[in-house]
Amino acid sequence: MKKSLLWCLFGPVLLTSAVWSQAAGSDAQAQAVAALEQQWLKSQQMNNPEALAPLLADNFLQTSSEGKLTTTKAEALAQATTVKWSSVNYVDVKVTIFGNTAIATGGFKGKGTDTSGKSLDETSRFTDTWVKMPNGKWQCVASQDTPVK
């Protein structure tokens, strides 16, 4: 009887504590992925694809706003060199954690030129899928951009 009473009294406290701890861990992971998204933005601001390389998984998949699919990290990094950005910004970035997977969504606004010198003025929404790898580091495994008119 005493054990039942103790569980009734302390069970909810322990359960609440476990849920709060899990939520705090999820917040920390979301902040870590949001920081990686900011590193990605910085690589674009500096026109430096090499800074992007450690963030992408080797088998990274990317669907561009034009519908072009790249299927490797090397392809995506080569594609990143085809635009010289004069200004880029992310807006409304949100990260949701699902265990060892994170989904980051946000808006992209950028101006620049392509390799032929053609001016670009791009506004799009993106969805990036991040996975916490066995070594404990987050890497982006897929990215998709949709143009916004």
Q: How sure is the predictor about 149, in pLDDT bands with cuts at 50, 70 and 90?
A: confident
- What is d(CA 113, CA 18) in angstroms, rounded to the nearest whole number? 51
Q: What is the dihedral of CA 30, 36, 37, 43, to 10 degrees?
A: 170
Locus of tokens 């699902």 = 98
pLDDT at 2: 54
What is the chain's mean pLDDT, rounded? Answer: 87
Local structure of 114: helix, strand or coil = strand
Listed in order, strand segments (DSSP E) in the chain are: 56-63, 69-70, 83-98, 101-114, 119-132, 138-147
Q: What share of the chain is helix, strand, coil (3-state, %, to 5)?
A: 40, 45, 15
* 16: containing domain: 2-147
- pLDDT above 90 as % of the chain: 79
Domain total of the chain: 1
Mean pLDDT calculated for residue range 10-27:
48
Mean pLDDT calculated for residue range 82-95:
95
Q: What is the pTM of this model?
A: 0.81
Residue 45 phi, psi (nearest 5): -60, -35
pLDDT at 125: 97
pLDDT at 133: 97
Tokens for 126, please give them: 């993106």
Question: Is it the case that residue 74 has pLDDT exceeding 50?
Answer: yes
Contact by Cβ (8 Å): 52, 85: no
Mean pLDDT calculated for residue range 131-137:
97
pLDDT at 25: 62
- Give the domain CATH number at 35: 3.10.450.50
Q: How sure is the predictor about 26, in pLDDT bands with cuts at 50, 70 and 90?
A: confident
pLDDT at 41: 96
Residue scoring higher pLDDT (48 or 11): 48
Question: Is it the case that residue 51 has pLDDT exceeding 90?
Answer: yes
